[in-house]
Amino acid sequence: MRRRCAAPGAATIPGTAVTPRRRSADEITAALSRPVPPVPDQGDLVEHWHECGLLDDDQVDALGGEQP
29 falls within a domain: no
| Average pLDDT of every residue of the chain | 79
What's the mean pLDDT in 34-52? 83
DSSP string, the chain: ----PPPTT----TTSS-PPPPPPHHHHHHHHHS--PPPTTPPPHHHHHHHTTSS-HHHHHHHTPPP-
- The boundaries of the domain holding residue 56 are 43-68
Cβ 20 vs Cβ 6: under 8 Å: no
Based on the structure, what is the number of domains in the chain? 1
Percent of the chain having pLDDT more than 90? 18
Residue ranges of E strands in 4-49: none
Dihedral pair phi/psi, residue 24, rounded to 5°: -80, 165
Identify whether 63 is part of a domain. Answer: yes
In a domain, 60, yes or no: yes
Rounded mean pLDDT, 33-61? 86
